[in-house]
């Protein structure tokens, strides 16, 4: 019955038209891999041929995505971030990939990524230079859009360093037009609201959602739990504004998944995965898929969590309760009173915490719900919204629950 319920939800979603950028893309949060957080601007391919920003890195990641189950789980985009090109445009004014690091060129790399059933993303900047000091798109929007389309690029992250923030609403909208004019569907990721926030300008999210498929709101993620918590706090603070624009075709982007990197513990990694699912966030991993340990791979491949992230309603969840070190986040799923509930324990006391709550205090519509513990894949029981529900949460961890209305679940 749950399966049948899902079918109804998916069919309903298909008739809900996207209200974001009208390129038919990102009807659910995009999933994939991105070089920045883990590999940064390492251009030293002579000494670090496996870890530098060059075609080998992206081909390796595409291979791992296909061969280790990431593609099957829904991860699709392989994204080149900053530092891929030469510092000068060519004589025709076009960007050119660094020939030492990308000897086959971006078009060939796109062909390779496509041959593996994946998509290729690229990075540039709205201003005069990228954040890493490479040529920006200012004054070259049309030619850059055309170049990316000719190369077979499927996604563009456009950053906002070295730019006049006040010109971004018009400028990014011009890039949207330039991308549309190429005729190639290119998923558009904008950093515009993040730069407005930093300049204390209130972003016009309606306009942003019209022009971008996904957009960064806040500072860059770093390889630390503290950084993950800071981002979660910002989303809580702005949740009403941000949730209002999250929908098929247009998603807030709290930045990359750092699961499997150097800092997060297994429990913290589960928490990032759960929280990014609650937030309907793009799932763009930045890690080394060639060496990632199995326990982190398993978290990234967890089907139930991904199903929640990819819920076709596109709604962003919100923080609905704070009690001591525990925060409870809730996301409405589908169109029939389903919920995902993340109980996040920010405490550092070294023992799991038993947390008790009445479901009605978490905003669930009154009724009986069947609860499933998502990471454990464990059925819990039926719970009335008036009764008390207890869950055990590890320190710096999450208990992640899927609540189905019982009348559907029990009639299997």
Cβ atoms of 272 and 299 within 8 Å: the answer is no
Does residue 220 interact with ligand GLA by CB under 6 A?
Answer: yes
Burial 378-405 (b: 16+ CB within 10 A, else e): eebeebebeeebebebbbbbbbbbbbbb
Distance CA 83, CA 243 (A): 33
Distance CA 73, CA 66 (A): 10
> Can 81 be counted among the known catalytic residues?
no
Binding segment for ligand GLA (CB under 6 A), chosen from 129-137, 196-204, 242-250, 373-381, is 129-137
Using DSSP bridges, classify how beta strands 119-125 and 155-159 pair: parallel, antiparallel or unpaired.
parallel
Would you say 217 or 396 has its CB closer to ligand GLA?
217
Does residue 253 interact with ligand GLA by CB under 6 A?
Answer: no
Would you say 192 or 343 has its CB closer to ligand GLA?
192
Distance CA 192, CA 175 (A): 12
Does residue 382 interact with ligand GLA by CB under 6 A?
Answer: no
3-state secondary structure of 67: helix
Distance CA 321, CA 360 (A): 11
Binding segment for ligand GLA (CB under 6 A), chosen from 51-59, 123-131, 348-356, 369-377, is 123-131
Query: Minimal CA–CA distance to 286: which of 319, 314, 253, 317?
Result: 253
Does residue 261 interact with ligand GLA by CB under 6 A?
Answer: no
**Among 25, 62, 131, 269, contact with ligand GLA (rule: CB under 6 A):** 131
CB of 131 to ligand GLA, least distance (A): 3
CB of 95 to ligand GLA, least distance (A): 15
Would you say 68 or 159 has its CB closer to ligand GLA?
159
CB of 163 to ligand GLA, least distance (A): 12
Would you say 53 or 401 has its CB closer to ligand GLA?
53
Does residue 82 interact with ligand GLA by CB under 6 A?
Answer: yes
- DSSP structural state of residue 317: P
Alpha helices per DSSP H over 45-201: 55-67, 70-73, 105-115, 141-151, 168-182, 192-198
**Among 30, 74, 127, 132, contact with ligand GLA (rule: CB under 6 A):** 132
**Among 36, 296, 343, 369, contact with ligand GLA (rule: CB under 6 A):** 36
CB of 185 to ligand GLA, least distance (A): 22
Distance CA 278, CA 298 (A): 19
**Among 55, 68, 85, 159, contact with ligand GLA (rule: CB under 6 A):** 159
3-state secondary structure of 232: helix
The catalytic position among 60, 111, 220, 382 is: 220
Dihedral pair phi/psi, residue 78, rounded to 5°:
-110, 110
CA 153 to chain centre: 19
**Among 55, 68, 81, 98, contact with ligand GLA (rule: CB under 6 A):** 81
Does residue 231 interact with ligand GLA by CB under 6 A?
Answer: no
Would you say 82 or 154 has its CB closer to ligand GLA?
82
Binding segment for ligand GLA (CB under 6 A), chosen from 127-135, 326-334, 359-367, 396-404, is 127-135
Would you say 41 or 374 has its CB closer to ligand GLA?
41
The catalytic position among 82, 159, 194, 261 is: 159
> Can 311 be counted among the known catalytic residues?
no
Q: Give kind and range of the element (H or E) at residue 156.
A: strand 155-159
Contacts by residues 38-45 (CB-CB < 8 Å, ≥ 24 positions apart): 38/223, 38/258, 38/261, 38/286, 38/287, 38/288, 39/81, 39/286, 40/83, 41/82, 41/83, 41/132, 42/83, 43/83, 43/98, 43/101, 45/100, 45/101
Would you say 226 or 240 has its CB closer to ligand GLA?
226
Residues of the shown chain interacting with ligand GLA in the complex, contacts defined by CB under 6 A = 36, 81-82, 123, 130-132, 159, 191, 220
Catalytic residue numbers, as ranges: 159, 220
């Amino acid at each position: 019955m749950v399966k049948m319920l899902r079918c109804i939800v998916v069919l309903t979603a298909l008739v809900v038209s996207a209200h974001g950028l009208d390129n038919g893309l990102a009807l659910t949060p995009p999933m994939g891999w991105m070089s920045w957080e883990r590999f940064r601007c390492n251009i030293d391919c002579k000494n670090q041929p496996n870890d530098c920003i060059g075609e080998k890195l992206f081909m390796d990641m595409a291979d791992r995505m296909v061969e280790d189950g990431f593609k099957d789980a829904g991860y699709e985009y392989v994204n080149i971030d900053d530092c891929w090109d030469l510092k000068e445009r060519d004589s025709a004014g076009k960007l050119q990939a660094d020939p030492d690091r990308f000897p086959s060129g971006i078009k060939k790399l796109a062909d390779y990524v496509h041959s593996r059933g994946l998509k290729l993303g690229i990075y540039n900047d709205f201003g005069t230079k990228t954040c890493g000091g490479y040529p920006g798109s200012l004054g070259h929007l049309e030619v850059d859009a055309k170049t990316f389309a000719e190369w077979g690029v499927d996604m563009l992250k456009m950053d906002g360093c070295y730019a006049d923030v006040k010109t971004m609403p018009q400028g990014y909208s011009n890039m949207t037009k330039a991308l549309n004019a190429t005729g190639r569907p290119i998923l558009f990721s904008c950093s515009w609201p993040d730069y407005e926030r930093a300049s204390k300008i209130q972003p016009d999210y309606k306009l942003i959602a019209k022009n971008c498929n996904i957009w960064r709101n806040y500072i860059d993620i770093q390889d630390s739990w503290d950084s993950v918590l800071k981002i979660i706090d910002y989303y809580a603070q702005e949740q009403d504004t941000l949730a209002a624009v999250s929908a098929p075709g247009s998603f807030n982007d709290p930045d990359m998944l750092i699961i499997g990197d150097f800092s997060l513990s297994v429990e913290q990694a589960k928490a990032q995965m759960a929280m990014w699912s609650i937030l309907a966030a793009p799932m763009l991993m930045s890690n080394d898929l060639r060496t990632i340990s199995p326990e982190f791979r398993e978290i990234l491949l967890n089907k139930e969590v991904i199903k929640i992230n990819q819920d076709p309603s596109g709604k962003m969840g919100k923080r609905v309760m704070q009690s001591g070190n525990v925060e409870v986040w809730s996301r409405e799923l589908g169109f029939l009173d389903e919920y995902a509930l993340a109980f996040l324990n920010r405490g550092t006391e070294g023992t799991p915490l038993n947390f008790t709550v009445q479901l009605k205090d978490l905003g669930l519509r009154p009724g009986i719900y069947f609860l499933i513990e998502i990471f454990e894949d464990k059925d819990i029981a039926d719970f009335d919204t008036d009764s008390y529900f207890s869950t055990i949460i590890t320190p710096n961890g999450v208990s992640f629950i899927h609540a189905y209305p019982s009348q559907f679940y029990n009639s299997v």
